[in-house]
């Protein structure tokens, strides 16, 4: 496949780096200010080096990358709320041109699911978004394989940063600020971790799961979610929880009609009490009890892996 | 006669009755009606629960089938069953509250939980590492009648939000096998 990659963060860079060995050709790359375009395939190493040393990917205009020659547009720009721009426009342009879109950007799927599906219906291209939920864990494909109608509820840990903070605090008895600073040093938490620790990142992932499960009968967005984060969680809470054999995890849950995100008491022996940055999703099935899938939920190459899975399904 | 005697077992059932005349008789009638042999009744008249119920404990001799019928008809009569044999009809639940617990009157918080919900606070542990004037946390163990968990949690959430306290709830979905 010929790929156009939008967004040059960790995910976009991983896609560019791994595309060749996966048998794909990158024909366009764009970040917010620059682009590199070559219908015969760009020199990916040169582009990655240029991004690293100069902060730009080329001399072309990002808008021209949208109309370049490609089979699949990879939308990996930062997630934005509300109108989900510019990711939504990138997606629309590609679909209107009859191209496929694979999203790592949660915004269009969480905030404008109905619009996105409407555009897809009008297009000969398809929209896939495995990478928006749970990184390398095949959450959405598992749901699709089981059939959304066979799943009654979903709960899980879907943010690595908050899980790292909570498990570190519980294991070492350290304070929130201390562990957050440590997570930032390790690159586990961003310089501005608000989106993660406020529970908003988890909320968007649950919204996407809920939209897939609702199968168009109902549309969910961020406003439908009751969210509580883990900011400044006192270590005395983790201490009290531990005396009872519990720990605290930021759990997102969708029970069929409502979505709630918040810190919950989880038995230390529970499958949900995953360590470090790991994620887990528990699907409550109609006929087969609960099903757990866990793995690495964040990271450039993990998310790129989910993107390549989607691209393979387009073949 | 041999068959009917087979499998007869003694069961202990704990009930909670409303403090009104005739309630004890109303609770014992389903036992007699369904062929249970009443061995003893322990009526804890002086031991009223925080919600104003009177606990009673009855020992019954019955076959498993008859015992099941007794429990069903107690349910039908809206008698509050706390425990029947090995099966407990109340659920223990742990929540942790965190915030200015002392400044927002912890005993009033507990009192509101007991009067505004169908939960009983059975245990409380307070942790105030920075002193009671700062943020402290409390672990509450609650006994909640079966089937009342969602309603109780809803009320506790609103009490916590009134007092600007953070609440750490157990998982909603059981999930685990």
Q: What angle do CA A117, A119, A124 make, to 5 degrees?
A: 105
A226 neighbors A179 (Cβ within 8 angstroms):
no
Beta strands in A7-106 (DSSP E): 25-30, 35-37, 72-75, 100-103
Q: How far is A130 from chain B (nearest CA, A)?
A: 24
Average pLDDT over residues B65-77: 88
Under an 8 A CB cutoff, do B96 and A240 touch? yes
CA dist list (Å): A87 to A77, A132, A314, B127: 6, 13, 20, 47
pLDDT (0 to 100) of residue B8: 80
Q: What is the number of H-type helices and E-type strands within chain B? A: 5, 9
Long-range contact set of residues A54-63: C-beta below 8 Å, sequence gap at least 24 = A56/A31, A57/A8, A57/A29, A57/A30, A57/A31, A58/A29, A58/A34, A59/A34, A60/A34, A60/A35, A60/A36, A61/A34, A61/A35, A62/A6, A62/A30, A62/A31, A62/A32, A62/A33, A62/A34, A62/A35
Q: Is the pLDDT of residue B87 over 60?
A: no
DSSP tag of A68: S
Rg, Å, chain A Cα set: 20
Please give the model's pTM, rounded to 2 decimal places.
0.81
Extract the tokens encoding A165.
């903070």
pLDDT (0 to 100) of residue B88: 55
Q: Is A45 a catalytic residue?
A: no
Residue A125 neighbours by CB distance under 10 Å: 20
Distance of CA A94 to the CA centre of its chain: 20
pLDDT (0 to 100) of residue B92: 78
pLDDT (0 to 100) of residue B146: 65
Contacts of B170 in chain A (CB under 8 A): 264-265
Least CB-CB distance to B137: which of A240, A262, A271? Answer: A240
Q: Which residue has the tokens 């939960």?
A: B119
Q: What angle do CA A142, A135, A176 make, to 5 degrees?
A: 125
Residue A221 neighbours by CB distance under 10 Å: 18
Strand, helix or coil at A235?
helix
| pLDDT tens digits, one per residue of A245-276 | 999 999 999 998 899 999 999 999 999 999 99
Residue B164, strand partner residues: none
Is residue B116 within a helix (H) or strand (E), and if so which, with residue range? helix B106-116
Closest chain B residue to A260, measured at CA = B172
Closest chain A residue to B99, measured at CA = A234
Dist CA A206 CA A95 (whole Å): 25
Q: Which of B92, B96, B132, B160 to mutate to test the interface with A (most CBs of A within 10 A)?
A: B96
Question: B173 falls in which pLDDT band (50, 70, 90)?
Answer: confident
Tell me the backbone φ, ψ of residue A111, rounded to 5 degrees: -95, -25
Least CB-CB distance to B173: which of A153, A228, A244? Answer: A153
Q: Is the pLDDT of residue B172 over 50?
A: yes
Is residue A116 within a helix (H) or strand (E), and if so which, with residue range? helix A113-122
Dist CA A73 CA A108 (whole Å): 14
Dist CA A303 CA A133 (whole Å): 9
Report the relative pairing of strands A35-37 and A25-30 from DSSP bridges: antiparallel
Q: How far is B123 from chain A (nearest CA, A)?
A: 12
Tell me the backbone φ, ψ of residue A271, rounded to 5 degrees: -60, -25
A214 neighbors A154 (Cβ within 8 angstroms):
no
**DSSP track, B29-98:** HHHHHTT-EEEEEEE-TT---TTSEEEEEEEEEE-HHHHHHHHHHHHHTT-EEEEETTEESEEEEEEEEE
| pLDDT tens digits, one per residue of A164-205 | 999 999 999 999 999 999 999 998 999 999 999 999 999 999
Least CB-CB distance to A236: which of B129, B169, B173? Answer: B129
Extract the tokens encoding A7.
């967004």
| pLDDT tens digits, one per residue of A61-117 | 999 999 999 999 999 999 998 899 999 999 999 999 999 999 999 999 999 999 999
Report the relative pairing of strands A290-296 and B9-18 from DSSP bridges: unpaired
B→A contacts (Cβ < 8 Å), by residue, are 94-96, 98, 125, 127-129, 135-139, 166, 168-173, 175-177
pLDDT (0 to 100) of residue B9: 81
Least CB-CB distance to B171: which of A155, A234, A243? Answer: A155
Q: Which of A153, A169, A235, A236 to mutate to test the interface with B (most CBs of B within 10 A)?
A: A236
Q: Is the pLDDT of residue B46 over 60?
A: yes
Dist CA B125 CA A164 (whole Å): 27
Residue A216, strand partner residues: none
Contacts of A271 in chain B (CB under 8 A): 175-176
Q: How far is B127 from chain A (nearest CA, A)?
A: 6
Dist CA A112 CA A79 (whole Å): 12
A270 neighbors B176 (Cβ within 8 angstroms):
yes
Is the omega angle on the peptide bond into residue A86 within 30 degrees of 0, that is, cis? yes
Report the relative pairing of strands B90-99 and B136-145 from DSSP bridges: antiparallel
pLDDT (0 to 100) of residue B43: 82
């Amino acid at each position: 496949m010929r790929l156009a990659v939008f967004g040059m963060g960790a995910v976009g860079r991983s896609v560019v780096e791994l595309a060749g060995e996966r048998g794909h050709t990158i024909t366009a790359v764009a970040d917010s200010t620059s682009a590199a375009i070559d219908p015969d395939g760009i020199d990916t190493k040169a582009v990655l080096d240029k991004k690293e040393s100069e902060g730009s990917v080329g001399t072309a205009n990002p808008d021209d990358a949208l109309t370049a020659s490609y089979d699949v547009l990879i939308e990996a720009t930062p997630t934005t709320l509300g109108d989900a721009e510019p990711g939504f426009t990138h997606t629309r342009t590609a679909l209107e041109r009859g191209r496929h879109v694979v999203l790592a950007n949660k915004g269009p799927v969480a905030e404008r699911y109905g619009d996105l599906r409407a555009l897809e219906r009008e297009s000969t291209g398809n929209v896939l978004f495995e990478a928006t939920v749970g990184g390398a864990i095949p959450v959405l494909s598992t749901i699709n394989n089981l059939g959304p109608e066979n799943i009654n509820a979903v709960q899980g840990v879907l943010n690595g940063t908050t899980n790292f903070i909570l498990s570190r605090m519980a294991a070492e008895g350290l304070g929130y600020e201390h562990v957050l600073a440590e997570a930032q040093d390790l690159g586990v938490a961003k310089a501005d971790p608000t989106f993660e620790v406020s529970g908003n990142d988890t909320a968007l992932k649950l919204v996407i799961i809920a939209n897939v499960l609702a199968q168009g009968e109902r549309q969910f967005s961020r406003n439908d979610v009751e969210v509580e984060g883990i900011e400044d969680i006192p270590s005395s809470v983790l201490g009290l929880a531990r005396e009872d054999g519990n720990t605290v995890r930021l759990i997102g849950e969708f029970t069929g009609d409502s979505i709630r995100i918040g810190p919950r008491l989880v038995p230390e022996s529970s499958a949900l009490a995953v360590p470090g940055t790991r994620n887990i999703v528990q699907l409550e099935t109609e006929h087969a009890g609960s099903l757990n899938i866990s793995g690495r939920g964040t990271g450039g190459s993990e998310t790129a892996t989910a993107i390549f899975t989607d691209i393979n399904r387009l073949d | 006669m041999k068959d009917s005697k087979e499998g007869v077992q003694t069961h202990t059932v704990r009930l909670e009755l409303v403090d009104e005349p005739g309630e004890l008789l109303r609770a014992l009638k389903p036992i007699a009606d369904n062929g249970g042999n009443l061995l003893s009744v322990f009526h804890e008249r002086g031991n009223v629960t925080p919600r104003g119920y009177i606990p009673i404990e009855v020992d019954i001799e019955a076959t498993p089938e008859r015992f099941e019928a007794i429990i069903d008809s107690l349910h039908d009569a809206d008698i509050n069953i706390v425990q029947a044999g090995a099966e407990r009809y109340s659920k223990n639940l742990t929540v942790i509250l965190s915030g200015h617990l002392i400044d927002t009157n912890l005993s009033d918080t507990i009192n509101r939980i007991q009067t505004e919900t169908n939960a009983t606070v059975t245990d409380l542990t307070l942790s105030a590492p920075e002193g009671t004037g700062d943020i402290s946390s409390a672990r509450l163990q609650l006994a909640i009648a079966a089937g009342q968990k969602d309603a109780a949690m809803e009320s506790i959430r609103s009490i916590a939000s009134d007092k600007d306290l953070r609440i750490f709830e157990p998982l909603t979905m059981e999930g685990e096998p």
